[in-house]
Amino acid sequence: MGSRRSIRRLTARLQLGAVCLLLAGAERAAAADAKSDAAAVVLRAADGKTVRLTQSDLKKLPRTEVETVDHRGNKAKYSGVALRALLDKLNVPHGEALRGEWMRAFVVVDAADDYRVIFAMAELDPGFTDRTIILADTRDGQPLKKFQGPFQIVVPGEKRQARWVRMVKEIRIVDSRTLEKP
C-alpha cells in the first residue's frame, strides 16, 4: 500500500513538473514574441498622420537587400524595407509626382540615442537616383545587434557612414515652409 501511494505521489509530482516546464516554455515564447513586436518604428507625416510599424509589420512589406561595406571596411548584406516604401505609408508622392512643394520637404530620421540625420526627398526616389536607402533589420541574415538595432538606416555608396542611423525610432516628413525664418 505504502509503495503504491509513493508511486502515485511521484507520478503526480512528475506530471506537475512537466506542466510547469511547458508553461514556462510557453511564457518565454510569448515574452519573446512580445519583445519582438515591442520594437517599432514610428512614421510621421508633415500633416501629423502617424503610422507605427512593428517588426512583424515590417516583415510583411517588400524586402530589399543591399550589399555594402560598413564603417570598418567589412562587407555585409543588409536586409530590410526601402525607405521609399515607408514613405508610401504616409502618401508621399513619388516619380513624376515628386516635384514642386514636395521638393521643399525632407525626411528626418531620429534614433533612440538622440542622433538625427536628414535626407532630401529626391535622395529616396527611384525617379531621381538608382541608390536604395533601407531601414534594415538584419545583417548577413541575422537580426541586428542591440547597439545597432532593432532598426538601422543603411545608405550604400556613401564614403562615410555618418547617416547610417542605428537604433531608429522615428522617421518623419518635415515641410521646410513650417520652419522659422531667420
Tell me which residue of 100, 101, 121, 97 sits closest to 172, measured CA to CA.
Answer: 121
What are the cell numbers at 174? 518635415
Q: Dig out the grid coordinates for 176 from the structure.
A: 521646410
**pLDDT at residue 111, rounded to an integer:** 97
Q: Which phi and psi angles does 34 have, rounded to 5°?
A: -65, -40
Among 45, 21, 39, which residue's Cα sits nearest to residue 135? 39
The yes/no answer on whether domain 40-177 falls in CATH 3.90.420.10 is yes
Q: Where are the domains of the chain?
A: 1-38, 40-177
For residue 55, which of 165, 156, 152 has the smallest C-alpha distance?
A: 152
Pairing of strands 75-82, 40-44: unpaired
> Structure pTM?
0.76
pLDDT at 102: 83
The predicted structure's pLDDT at residue 176: 80
Whole-number Å distance between alpha carbons of 133 and 111: 16
Query: What per-residue confidence (pLDDT) applies to 36?
Result: 45
Closest of 125, 131, 137, 139 to residue 85, by C-alpha = 125
Q: Taking the CB of residue 102, how many other CB atoms lie within 10 A of it?
A: 17
The span from the CA of 135 to the CA of 41, in Å, is: 10
Which residues are paired to 81 by β-bridges? Answer: 135
Element (H, E) at 19: helix 2-38
Do residues 55 and 37 touch, judged by C-beta distance below 8 A? yes
Other beta carbons within 10 Å of 96: 7
Query: Which residues of the chain are modeled with pLDDT < 50?
Result: 19-23, 26, 29-37
Report pLDDT for 9.
65
Q: Which DSSP letter does residue 138 get?
A: E
